[in-house]
Amino acid sequence: MIIAIVAVDRQGAIGKGGTLPWHYSADMKFFRETTTGNACVMGHNTWLTLKKPLQNRLNIVLSRQSQIEPQDAVIVLRNLNSVLSLKKYLGCDLFVMGGEQVYREFLPYIDKWIVTEVPLTVEGADAFVPADYLDEFSRVESKQIEEGLTVGYYERVPT
């Protein structure tokens, strides 16, 4: 299954100045627990924000640049089709974790969204989820992970 996981503010913002514009320990813990044991695909800029590869996950970096140092549990792929081809051989879920361009490219292939709703409006945000990202999805569940921090689960509506 291809699952997109994202934290968004009230306006759909996901980034500012190349970083996550908030820090919630409960959301970081939720992300870690949800994605551990699976594969996580991210764009080059998202990769650069990590201090090291995500532990206990296959890190797939979608990048046309080759300057990424070879590391255990890190694969650099050049395009969407390469990731989709690899997915056939993975014995786990593939989590799409950003950034903006990666969410947009994977949108037609995403089966499920896990969306942390951040109770903020970030001034000067410069990265957003696609405006129509939930158009073909229906909310099937939600849970509160911290005061004011809700996670919504969305599944693609059959056509």
Structural domains of the chain ordered from first start: 2-156 (3.40.430.10)
Lowest mean pLDDT among 31-40, 71-80, 113-122, 134-143: 71-80
DSSP category for residue 47: H
- Tens-place pLDDT, residues 5-57: 999 999 999 999 989 999 999 999 999 999 999 999 999 999 988 989 999 99
Conformation bin of residue 50: beta by default, left when phi > 0, alpha when psi is -120 to 50: beta
Q: For position 55, what pLDDT does the model report? A: 96
Q: For position 65, what pLDDT does the model report? A: 74
Q: For position 81, what pLDDT does the model report? A: 96
DSSP category for residue 120: -
Lowest mean pLDDT among 66-75, 113-122, 130-139: 66-75
Cβ pair 11, 133 in contact under 8 A: no
Instruction: Please count the helices (runs of H) and the strands (runs of E) in the chain.
Output: 4, 10
CA distance 138 to 61: 29
